[in-house]
Structure 1
Amino acid sequence: MLLLSVLLWLPIEAARAQLYLTPQVRPRAEWRNGYQTLPTGDRGAFFVNQRSRLTLDYKQDNMQTRFSLQDVRVWGDEPHLKDIPSTAIHEAWGEVALSDKLAIRLGRQELVYNNDRLLGNVDWVQQARSHDGVLLKARWQGLSLDAGGAFNQEKEALFDTRYGMNNYKALGFLWAQKQLGDRLTVSALHISDGFQRPDTVGGVYFRHTYGLDLSYRQEQVQFNGSLYRQSGEHGSGKRIDAYLAVAEVAYAMQPFRFTIGTTYLSGMAGNERKVRSFNTLYATNHKFYGLMDYFINVPTDTRQGGLHNTYLKASFNPVSRYSLSLDYHYFALASNLNATETLPATDKRYLGSEIDAVLQYKHSDQIQFFVGYSSLFAGQSMGAIKPGNASAYADWGWVMVNIQPRILLKAFDKE
């Protein structure tokens, strides 16, 4: 509060400067009986988790900054009368415009590109995702170009750059987007991430992911397509040869919108000489592969078998305040799996079907209410990748409230 008071009274010589405060309180109650994994026969779980976030945005001429503090907890996870620190910095960055076409951003920041398919903030998860790095942004004649990078270390060391945490050690990406006419948008993305080799002091193995996203809109119809290839070196020492393909068609006829599509993530069968399972990197998989999050970490959640996700989605938005969505997913492995010491082999690729329903009520721009319910109908092959009973009924329900006003604390004008 002291820092906020100082900022409010600080004299600023600028043509225009603005200071915004955005508090967020987002509690979510969940019932879990087969969320992320098959039911085991134990009782279902019920709890309330909450994100409490405070974001301060400041913009002045060719400079802007953001500081975002958050506390994420489950109601009751701390004993009373105990002072247990849990606040973390979600974002802390500064951006400087080098010209009217070029800007640079430094610090802890979210990276969200191409609808979160490979780089996303995973906002559904209460703690969300952010990166420590640098971002260079260029905008010129309808072309958007971003280049970013990061280099991670555990501490300020005197010698050696060995990195022992289970994160990437180095990250670099290049994103370009161009609007071609009024209907077609083309986007290209290249991501290279490097991980510390376990057997050497300074060695890093690099993985490369690159491809295109297309979006074509004509009146009530929209087509989206994506194609990505993955190469480089896997942590096992094998070479990577994997790909991701997406095809989707949406038709809007107010107040309805219908979407049909398919996503194919390549997989590997047996002990192949190359790794052929596609890794979705730093995506928001909650948006794409069913809300019950059975495939939140691909390829680990498929035992490297890949995933074929065919889906049909329908949304109903009769008035601006209400919306109802109903999604159906058909899940199948891209490759059959061999048996392990603890898990069986598969002779059928069908994993199961999922139905997700979400009702949203927008009370105002500052307050929204959500209710969701999902059911998973697992095939027998699901038991080869998830522990539990594939024949049991799996469901998940949740209720969430999002209170997030945006407050203009002060606007400064140069006299």
Structure 2
Amino acid sequence: MKVSFTRKLLLLSILVWLPLEAAWAQLYLTPQVRPRAEWRNGYQSLPNGQDGAFFVSQRSRLTLDYKQDKVQMRFSLQDVRVWGNEVHLKDVPSTAMHEAWGEVALSDKFAVRLGRQEFVYNNDRLLGNVDWVQQARSHDGMVLKARWRGISLDAGGAFNQEKEALFDTHYSMNNYKVLGFLWAKKQLGEQLSLSAMHISDGFQRPDTVGGVYFRHTYGLDLNYKHERVQFNGSLYRQSGEHGSGKKIAAYLAVGEATYTLQPFQFTLGTTYLSGMAGHEHKVRSFNTLYATNHKYYGFMDYFINVPADTRQGGLHDNYLKTTFSPSASYNLSLDYHYFALAKNLRASETHAGTSNRYLGSELDAVLQYKHSDQIQFSIGYSSMFAGSSMAAIKPGDASAYADWGWVMVNFQPRILLKSFEKE
């Protein structure tokens, strides 16, 4: 629920000036102002003959971090808006709580975190905070953490309800009703690490009061790094029950190699998300769950919601990424993506079918400049060169030139408010 920014700012101010015990403790305040100007002419969907769009969006976030002995807490408030989307002299509350959690260490090996928090694992491939989006993503839940003998183990979950009810637990909002995950990582020497994850999410059945259909996603991530070379591989399977009532049988496979030769870094990789060709008895299109797809499947976000953005046809993404970092202040990247359907699509009443799986190629260029630890500048430009089959999954003209440009400034100082040491 959104409440006034003034009220929440007053709450944070009170917390800042509360006296701390004469023990080891730290209190940090991290304000963030992140305006971003965007030009959109084919972003997320093909151009359709209309003029391109231009606007400025802004995230204004205030984060308070507290840590003392075995206790950690975070409060993060944010206001997200497009410049000019409110009438002058109107009091329109628009601030939301992005994070509000507390964590306590039960011992030197175990801890528990409760409250509104981000779930970020395995480089955001299935669970991520989607930080590029100004709103970002967080969950209301809990995480149990264990660390011992080089093994990291997290077990987390959430149970969503839309109100404090007297009876029944029917959930009508367009979110998962139940989420549970188990993540384990083991460092196998200095060069090799292996992680395993299982995610189960349940959704309210629309035709019953208490019924829930569950989807299960599980797999492995392997990472190897030796001097200039790094290899990453992932393999995940998806099963359970789809909202249509069909059983799920889908998979995700990733293979990637990175070579670093300062100041350059080259990454060559492929990602395959299975799809379905027609009216099959099982759902074979892989769903990327709560991932940060912006960082994986092209910055123009044509495939931000897989499998919906492919009409269940799956996706095959071959990519080459190059990064040039001449200093700690400058970073220039150029990414190329070759997109194809995993399966050809049949024609429907509203969409054409495909006989060629090739969807298009995308180029993404980004220049980043770090002025200081408090201020960073970024500018990006992307182009989508769509194939004829792209029109079968995206409305618009596949032959038209599609581009997207943006400029962003990130003001984000980290301020130490109080620090005490044990006497």
- Range into which the TM-score falls when normalised by the shorter chain: over 0.9
Q: Distance in 1 between matches of 2:105 and 2:231?
A: 35
Q: Structure 1, residues 192-237: CA drift from partner, whole Å, max 9, x if none? A: 0000011111000000000000000111010000000000000000
1:403 aligns with 2:411: yes
Aligned residue for 1:155? 163
Q: Given the alignment of the two structures, is residue 106 of structure 1 paired with residue 114 of structure 2, yes or no?
A: yes
Q: 2:213 aligns with which of 193, 205, 211?
A: 205
State the one-letter code of the partner of 2:149. Answer: Q
Aligned partners of 1:11, 1:370: CA distance in 2, in Å? 39
Q: Secondary structure at the match of 1:319?
A: coil
1:23 matched to which residue of 2? 31
Contact 1:168/1:193 (8 A) holds in 2: yes
Aligned to 2:6: none
CA contact under 8 A between 1:13 and 1:414: conserved in structure 2? no
How far apart, CA to CA, are the structure 2 residues paired with 1:279 and 1:9? 46
Q: Which amino acid aligns with 1:394?
A: A
Bigger Cα displacement from structure 2, 172-181 vs 1-10: 1-10
Matched with 1:339 is 347
- Sort the Cα spacing of 1:58 and 1:369 in 2 relative to 1 into closer, same or farther, 3 A: same
Q: What is the CA–CA distance in structure 1 between the aligned matches of 2:21 and 2:77, rounded to whole Å? A: 28
Residue in 1 aligned with 2:85?
77
| Contact preservation (8 Å) 1:223, 1:250 | yes
Shift of 1:10: 2.8
User: Structure 2, unaligned stretches of length 5 or more?
Assistant: 1-8
Which of 267, 271, 275 is residue 263 of structure 1 equivalent to? 271
Count of aligned pairs? 415
Per-residue Cα deviation, 1:299-346 (whole angstroms, up to 9, x for no partner): 000000000000000000001100100000000000000111111000
Q: Distance in 2 between matches of 1:363 and 1:52?
A: 20
Contact 1:38 1:387 in 2 (8 A): yes
Aligned partner of residue 290 in structure 2, secondary structure: coil
- CA deviations 1:128-168 (Å, max 9, x no partner) are 00000010011101100000010000101111101001100
The aligned amino acid for 2:176 is Y
Q: Does the 8 A contact of 1:337 with 1:345 survive in 2?
A: yes
Match of 1:64 among 65, 72, 75: 72
Q: Does 1:11 align with 2:50?
A: no
Aligned-residue Cα RMSD (Å) equals: 0.9
- 1:134-149 equivalences under 5 Å are 134-149=142-157
The percentage of aligned residue pairs carrying the same residue is 81
Distance apart, 1:52 and its partner CA? 0.2
Q: Secondary structure at the match of 1:301?
A: helix
Amino acid at match of 2:201: D
**Is residue 370 of structure 1 aligned with residue 378 of structure 2?**
yes
- The answer for the alignment partner of 1:298 in structure 2 is 306
Find the counterpart in structure 2 of residue 238 from structure 1. 246
> Does structure 1 residue 46 correspond to structure 2 residue 54?
yes
Q: Which amino acid aligns with 1:202?
A: G
Confirm or deny that 1:385 pairs with 2:423. no
Q: Could you tell me whether the CA contact under 8 Å between 1:14 and 1:61 is conserved in 2?
A: no
Q: Among 201, 213, 217, which residue is 1:193 paired with? A: 201
Distance, in Å, in 2 between the alignment partners of 1:374 and 1:13 is 52
Amino acid in the other structure paired with 2:413: P
Distance in 1 (alpha carbons) for counterparts of 2:419 and 2:303: 45
Q: Which string of whole-angstrom CA distances, capped at 9 and with x for unpartnered residues, describes residues 342-384 of structure 1?
A: 1100000000000000000000111100000000000000000
Structure-2 change in CA distance of 1:320 and 1:238 (3 Å): same
Letter in 2 for 1:344: A
Q: 1:247 aligns with which of 249, 255, 269?
A: 255
Distance in 2 separating the partners of 1:48 and 1:27: 7
> If the length of structure 2 is used for normalisation, what is the TM-score?
0.97
Pick from 96, 106, 117: which aligns with 1:88? 96
| Equivalent residue for 1:330, pick from 338, 351, 358 | 338
Structure 2 match to 1:216: 224
Number of the residue aligned with 1:357: 365
Shift of residue 268, structure 1, vs aligned partner: 0.2
**TM-score scaled by length of structure 1:** 0.99
What's 1:288 paired with?
A: 296
Q: Which runs of 5+ in 1 are unaligned?
A: none
